[in-house]
Structure 1
Amino acid sequence: MNVITLAEASAGTAELVGGKAAGLGELIKLGERVPEGFCLTTAAHDRGVIPEAEVAAAYRALGGGPVAVRSSATAEDLPYASFAGQQDTFLGVTGADALQDAIAKCWSSLHTERAVAYREANDIDGRTVRMAVVVQRMVEAKVAGVLFTANPLTGCRTETVVDAAPGLGTAVVDGTAPADHYVLDGTRYDDRGCLTPAQLAELHRAGERIQAHFGTPQDVEWAIDSDGTLWLLQSRPITTLFPLPPPTDRPQPRIYLEFGHVQGMLRPVTPMGMSALRVILAGMLGSFGIKAEIVDIGGRLYGDLTDLVRDPATRKRLVKLMAVDFGPRAQAVVAHLLTDPRFAPVPTVRSRPAGGLGPALRTAPRAIAGIVAALARPEAARVRLFEEIDQLRQRAAAEPAGLRTAAERLDFVEAQDPSTRYDRIVWPVVAGILTAALPAELLKGIASQAEIHAVLGGMPHNVTIEMDLALWRLAERAGAHRDLLCTTPPEELAARYRAGTLPEIGLAAFLDTYGHRAAAEVDLGVPRWAEDPTPVFASIANYLRVTDPEQAPDRRFARAAAEAEVALAALVRRVRRRRPVRGRLAGFLLRRARVLAGLREAGKFAGLYPLRENRRQLLLVGAELADGGRLAQADDIMFLTIPEARAAVSDGIDQRALVAQRRATYRRELRRRHVPVAVLSDGTDVEAALAPATAAATDALRGVGAAPGTATGPARVVHDPATARIEPGEILVAPTTDPGWTPLFLTAGGLVTETGAPMAHGPTVAREYGIPAVICVPGATDTIRTGQVITVDGAAGTVTVDRGR
């Protein structure tokens, strides 16, 4: 079947007619007004020869005259990839010969450089894509444009956006001419620009009908002719929207704050990892008397803060609370929400769970005792903490002995208690966080943030720093194998290591201590370094490229520690002269911080041991299910929840189709560059909806200084640390970082991230190495290109791009 009418096309024939024609066929079935036309199907493309007689006959049936000729590939107008502008469109084509030529050009556009690159970026196999072509009678448009049934800039699902301009709609689509911009909420229609209120109302109603039919927000092209008739030219999903929060029957609207970036992770979490994290996080918050519903939005952890924002008691403290871990972007969002009348205080709202302050009151005596003990005897507290971590490691390895069946292994994983008390670990860590955070308040107006950050550099007893330095020492010992380790791809080195064909460099000992770590390690669905040491080999190669002895990470860390001690002494002397009481108290806290603040990473490090064992048990279950044909491979189990895994084990349910669907969604979300700091229940990205900040007079990008100092060097934009190559002195530019990224810091000259908080993992480790860091630079990985020379000023919180180089 080479040629069919558009009325014969539908979603069920997408493989034959392509995405665009399928969408037009659905509009026709819905009763919408669509220009008459036909489709040259993918069957003709498969043969590679234009059926000239059939095309000519279909063209005559349209009455001849000018037509629009547009691509309609099978990988086009997809829910996750629009292919907007990637393949060709030809307007005003007249005559059979010109039509044949336009069709040939549409076919050829499937293989243009831009189309190939777009498919690769969206993980679409070009070998599977075929091209149909849509031919439609031209509409002599008086005005035309595009309609979005959700706001594509803010994500708000209750707003319809229309862009319109006189004449053909190509100027609007291509962005080559100014357009009138309308944001519609259905309450009123502006009497301005090239559209009348009646036309806007008609477009709004059409958008509602189309979205209801397709079940998802749509991007619609339209035209209005000289008779005032509305024609619909295309409808496809809006592919850029962040997913909506899950439905709830609680009072609307609701506000959800993203929690993942606190752990330096913006990538999606696997379904199994998400179910574990939600329980763990809820247990942690509950122990402090805080109830925040944890939800999955786009595979990311979000907390429902609505009740906290509306509670007269808690809302006053929220902005300050955001500064500790969530950072300035979250602070700005919360400050804005406090002015929003929809989130005005409601006296009856209470954010605490049943029992009121019970959990917090029960925790308070232990907290006070633990913190006071750590402050009084910090060295003893540190020793006890690491003893507890070692015991936890041993328990995690020993407890599962004797598990035999898949059901027993699932019972073991499900029985893990996230609220288990580790007082010897928790309260020294909290004491360290407090001693590092409180001096900034005490010394406000007396000492700068950069001075305090300098005092917090080169901090000892940080398990992540110790891990990085251990890897550096391993690289030093592996110098004899420099050529092999620097010239062989990390993936190949990892495969050879697993096969036992690599020279001995001491990696087994390193992995015995740190193999339970990884980037995005809080997700138990992510392979650990012991399973896949590819990132470790990438870091070793980076280290072996360091040739300047003064840039050796151990020397840099030692310098940062020495400079911190000097800065501490000078700061205390100066402050005590000006404010004796504050000076003494700040000095006490900062000295304690030098012993305790480095312990911040210890709590998470300890929690990774049981997480590793849970992962091991789940993979054993997955292997059994794969052997039985209920999963395709062992690690597919990470794309199920515990109940779904039980259904596969106990009831024999084949979960392969469900896993394939979730893996595809996961891969798509991995490609998402922007994750909202906060979203409303209607999908609004709160930060995007805020008025844009006034542009700076210079080329400097503004963020928050998180580690003092300045550095100039070529930028290296990294989205995945697994195989990243960082040359000594390059500035690492990343969306965010967690401990799995920190081996890259040892060769970097500076750090720039899009999210974070001054006390989060990345900035903390940057301070310890003495490299400047600027965080919360919106769009840094898009604005800055690898190779551009940039200057990072950690005191001013700016990143300057040298446009001349």
Structure 2
Amino acid sequence: MNELSRAHLSTAGGKGANLGELMRLGLSVPDGFVVSAEAYAEHARAWELAERLAPHLATQSWEAAAAAAAELFEKGALLPGLEHAVREAYRALGAPRVAVRSSATAEDLADASFAGQHETFLDIAGEDELVSALRRCWASLWSPRALGYRAARGVDHLGVDIAVVVQRMVAADFAGVLFTVDPVAQRADRMLLEVAPGLGEAVVSGHTTGDVYRLRREPLGIDERERRVPGRPAPSDSLVLRLSRLGLDLEAHFGCPQDVEFAFEGDAVYLLQSRPITTLGAAEIEPLPPPPKLTRLQQRMLEANDNDRFPIAPKPIDQWGFRMVIPALVNAVRVLGLDIDEADERAVMDQVWREFFVLPSPRPTFRILGLPQRVAAGLRQDWLGWWETEAFGRIREACAPVDLRALDDAALLRRADHIEATTREILVKRFEGILTQLAAVALRLPVTVAVGRKRAEALMGDLVSGLHTRTSEVNLALYHLARKATNAGPEVFLAIREGHPEELRASEAGRAFLAEVEAFLEEHGHRESTGLYLSAPTWRQDPAPMWGLLRGLLDATEPPSEEAGYKRYEAAVEEVTRGIRFVPGLSGSFRGTLERLRKTIVFRERSHFDLARVFSAMQAIVAEIARRLHERGHLPSPDDIFYLTEAEIRAWLREGPPPFSEVKRLVQRRRATYGVVNGKWQKRAFEVGAEGASDSELRGTGASSGVVRGRARIIRDEREFGRLKPGEILVCRYTNPAWTPLFTLAAGVVTDTGGAASHAAIVAREYGIPAVLGAAGATARITEGQEILVDGTEGRVLLLRLGVTGEVAYA
């Protein structure tokens, strides 16, 4: 049996293949042998099993099929060669008491365990009893229970064979089952153990209630123990922890959480089985790291920055993109005068699954004392000039279009490496430039002196209003594209209005407009919709959000303008300088620092827009790799590439992928895991209750000052862009630059998440529309069409009551 591995599934069945794998790992598995699936299949053919069962299977008469199979397996003559081999193998084992276990070829898989569907016979003694148990194991493949299980899962009855595992019985003091993630509480940071005195089959079958242990995965330890029978003997903690370490090793080896049957005999730990946990349902089926505890500062940064920029959880492929960004972020933290342990940095770099983005807790160093001088020195640098004359040129060179299909695999990876190295180097300096925005902290002092603490909060936003950014340029270009659609004739207008842009190809005017769209996408098609992810399509790859924006902008009568925001900025500067005019030199210092801060913000927005080109170029490489792997028969679907890691992709291109069946199960497991991760991500980001909220009021961050009253339009994702009408208040879970063309139509903005420094806040201030961001629960609390009052100065949203019928009661 120690010659078997997972490669022998068709020969030894799921149980036998897994046990052989455990033995090859040098783990303690009771000695034994396997009666192969070919031996069963040979007897099934000799006994004409398929022909005899066909009528019953056709009518799904499971009881009749089971009875016919049981008679065959009980009375059919065994082939002499097999019976002799089984008896000889049993004698070679020493003729001990044995466990005889069924091991079907469709058993103990990642997507179906078949647990309990086939028979196991314990404490079998003697050759004749062994042969009888073998027959009964074969017959159990055709029990009504097994037939119904296969039918429910679409498994071909006649496509399944069964092997039989014969193992020496362990004189167990204790036995049971260990789950390397808790399938009951759906906890991936915890293991669940059930153990009882005697044989483990009693626990597995439910005939005995074992004691329950709940164990921490990291650091490994026993959190809780539930003694079901007071005074009953229990294994030592050291044995429990030794088994738990083995469970984690098995999980790492097999690549997914494991259901491990075990026995303790004295101080020895015997493994009786290890199979994937298939009863997790929608829970994690890959190990997930426990979420780190956040400091107050980390929590505030998370809420202010990450939720709107990354509204959905990343997929495994996105870690490739993070490798460009994380080192530059860590460097920026060190420039601040803080330190991050290199081991912690590597852990963040290597982490695949995340509940949220957060860097490890930094430690202050003496360098933090020099931060004000470094920020002041940074403000004097021309960051935008550096970007336009040097950095952007390097990005364009690295991302210049090439025929990716003409590159071999090695050249394709070298292109990715070049883009990654160039971007990482540029990002290091970019983040140093962005740190100069800390000057806003210094500006708050003269503003507070001038207007008081309460008024200062609103004025700080107004002071950075009216900025001209690349995002506003894209929004203006989109507005003009909508105007061209309006003037191009009814066939163009109606195709866009009714959401059928594919119909534009049917007319000459439509084809001419599509040429305009192509020119727009050539310049702006790298714009992202849901964050800078390799897995998130750009407008070029998925133009549906762009068409939705155009549909809404058909009703826009005025182009987006920063004029209102600029007037707000001028008024705020005048108010502050008037309040500090009695302090010699302070007004001039204030104005100079403010202008440099405004240029830094423009630099941040411009560089973000251009960096989207990097991700677009990397996405093209990923798409080409996906095409190749799919066409070579290594990947079920090109989209499955998103559930692979960078390391796996490189290894598969250089050395070849695993067997296709393993790839298929891997992708299936990763897709299920992503569903859980993204669910947690969404819940944390958008489903928390708002502090300080009441039945008629929501609280958030006043991101753009002013007050507006209007009807709410709830837009939940990019597919609904076309639903917003002029003068309505946009209510959404988050916004990012791709959403900001809607600000041309909106009278105000309310979001579940986000902060005053976000891209959406900047554009709202540019256009002079009130915005309250981070009003947790807004999309749940506000009803479509409800009249609300948005106070962007105070950061609050007032809700009018609804009528008793659910209709909105308007004042």
TM-score by length of 2: 0.57
Deviation at 1:749, TM superposition (A): 1.8
Which of 395, 398, 401 matches 2:397? 395
Q: Residue in 1 aligned with 2:319?
A: 274
Q: Residue in 2 aligned with 1:286?
A: 331
Q: Distance in 2 between matches of 1:272 and 1:455?
A: 40
Q: Residue in 1 aligned with 2:289?
A: 246
Which of 529, 534, 537 matches 2:547? 537
SS at match of 1:719: coil
Deviation at 1:393, TM superposition (A): 4.5
Deviation at 1:216, TM superposition (A): 9.0
Preserved contact between residue 287 and residue 363 of structure 1 (Cα < 8 Å): no
Which of 360, 363, 367 matches 1:305? 360
Q: Residue in 2 aligned with 1:478?
A: 485
2:509 is the counterpart of 1:455: no
Over 3 Å counting, the alpha-carbon distance change for 1:288 and 1:703 in structure 2 is: closer
Deviation at 1:523, TM superposition (A): 0.4
Which of 505, 513, 519 matches 1:504? 513
Deviation digits for residues 221-254 of structure 1, max 9, x if unmatched?
xxxxxxxxxxxxxx98696899985269xxx978
Deviation at 1:382, TM superposition (A): 3.6
Deviation at 1:407, TM superposition (A): 2.2
Preserved contact between residue 371 and residue 430 of structure 1 (Cα < 8 Å): no
Preserved contact between residue 773 and residue 793 of structure 1 (Cα < 8 Å): yes
Aligned-CA RMSD value: 5.5
SS at match of 2:682: coil
Q: Residue in 1 aligned with 2:737?
A: 739
Q: Distance in 2 between matches of 1:768 and 1:151?
A: 51
Over 3 Å counting, the alpha-carbon distance change for 1:514 and 1:243 in structure 2 is: same
Deviation at 1:586, TM superposition (A): 2.6
Q: Residue in 2 aligned with 1:602?
A: 606
- The amino acid that maps onto 2:760 is G
Over 3 Å counting, the alpha-carbon distance change for 1:693 and 1:662 in structure 2 is: closer
Map 1:43-192 to 2 at 5 A. none
Deviation digits for residues 505-543 of structure 1, max 9, x if unmatched?
622222122111121241022222122211111101111
Deviation at 1:609, TM superposition (A): 2.2
Q: Residue in 2 aligned with 1:592?
A: 596
Over 3 Å counting, the alpha-carbon distance change for 1:571 and 1:420 in structure 2 is: same
Q: Residue in 2 aligned with 1:139?
A: none
Deviation at 1:623, TM superposition (A): 1.6
- The amino acid that maps onto 1:294 is V
- The amino acid that maps onto 2:482 is A
Deviation digits for residues 286-330 of structure 1, max 9, x if unmatched?
354243552657555533534x3xx4x47xxxxxxxxxxxxxxxx
- The amino acid that maps onto 1:701 is L
2:687 is the counterpart of 1:704: no
Over 3 Å counting, the alpha-carbon distance change for 1:643 and 1:485 in structure 2 is: farther
SS at match of 1:373: coil
Preserved contact between residue 691 and residue 699 of structure 2 (Cα < 8 Å): no
- The amino acid that maps onto 1:738 is N
Deviation at 1:754, TM superposition (A): 2.0
Over 3 Å counting, the alpha-carbon distance change for 1:619 and 1:297 in structure 2 is: closer
- The amino acid that maps onto 1:700 is E
- The amino acid that maps onto 1:607 is L
SS at match of 1:527: coil
Deviation at 1:361, TM superposition (A): 12
Over 3 Å counting, the alpha-carbon distance change for 1:150 and 1:782 in structure 2 is: farther
Preserved contact between residue 382 and residue 596 of structure 1 (Cα < 8 Å): yes
417-426 or 438-447, which moves further after superposition? 417-426
Q: Distance in 2 between matches of 1:254 and 1:390?
A: 35
Preserved contact between residue 495 and residue 501 of structure 2 (Cα < 8 Å): no
Q: Distance in 2 between matches of 1:468 and 1:519?
A: 14
Q: Distance in 2 between matches of 1:783 and 1:238?
A: 30
Preserved contact between residue 718 and residue 732 of structure 1 (Cα < 8 Å): yes
Gaps of 5+ in 1: 1-11, 13-43, 52-77, 80-125, 129-147, 160-184, 190-196, 218-234, 315-355, 375-380, 678-684
Which of 621, 624, 632 matches 1:620? 624
Preserved contact between residue 565 and residue 766 of structure 2 (Cα < 8 Å): yes
Over 3 Å counting, the alpha-carbon distance change for 1:705 and 1:626 in structure 2 is: same
2:718 is the counterpart of 1:721: yes
Preserved contact between residue 152 and residue 238 of structure 1 (Cα < 8 Å): no
2:569 is the counterpart of 1:568: no
Rg (Cα) greater in structure = 2
SS at match of 1:302: coil
Q: Residue in 1 aligned with 2:474?
A: 467
SS at match of 1:398: coil
Deviation at 1:587, TM superposition (A): 2.8
Over 3 Å counting, the alpha-carbon distance change for 1:366 and 1:707 in structure 2 is: closer
Structure showing greater relative contact order (alpha-carbon pairs closer than 8 Å, 6 or more residues apart): 1
- The amino acid that maps onto 1:405 is D
SS at match of 1:576: coil
Deviation at 1:199, TM superposition (A): 9.9
Deviation digits for residues 460-506 of structure 1, max 9, x if unmatched?
2x111111111112212221247544554787426867999643262
Preserved contact between residue 459 and residue 768 of structure 1 (Cα < 8 Å): yes
Preserved contact between residue 565 and residue 767 of structure 2 (Cα < 8 Å): yes
Which of 402, 406, 410 matches 1:407? 410
Q: Distance in 2 between matches of 1:634 and 1:592?
A: 47
SS at match of 2:790: strand
Over 3 Å counting, the alpha-carbon distance change for 1:567 and 1:387 in structure 2 is: same
Q: Distance in 2 between matches of 1:150 and 1:584?
A: 65
2:647 is the counterpart of 1:639: no
Q: Residue in 2 aligned with 1:70?
A: none
Q: Residue in 2 aligned with 1:138?
A: none
2:705 is the counterpart of 1:662: no
Q: Distance in 1 between matches of 2:670 and 2:564?
A: 48
Over 3 Å counting, the alpha-carbon distance change for 1:242 and 1:779 in structure 2 is: farther
Deviation at 1:624, TM superposition (A): 1.8
SS at match of 1:752: strand
Q: Residue in 2 aligned with 1:101?
A: none
Preserved contact between residue 246 and residue 297 of structure 1 (Cα < 8 Å): no
Q: Distance in 1 between matches of 2:381 and 2:547?
A: 41
Q: Residue in 1 aligned with 2:750?
A: 752
Over 3 Å counting, the alpha-carbon distance change for 1:615 and 1:404 in structure 2 is: same
SS at match of 1:644: helix
Over 3 Å counting, the alpha-carbon distance change for 1:529 and 1:426 in structure 2 is: same
Q: Distance in 2 between matches of 1:156 and 1:539?
A: 42
Q: Distance in 1 between matches of 2:505 and 2:677?
A: 31
Deviation at 1:637, TM superposition (A): 2.5
TM-score by length of 1: 0.57
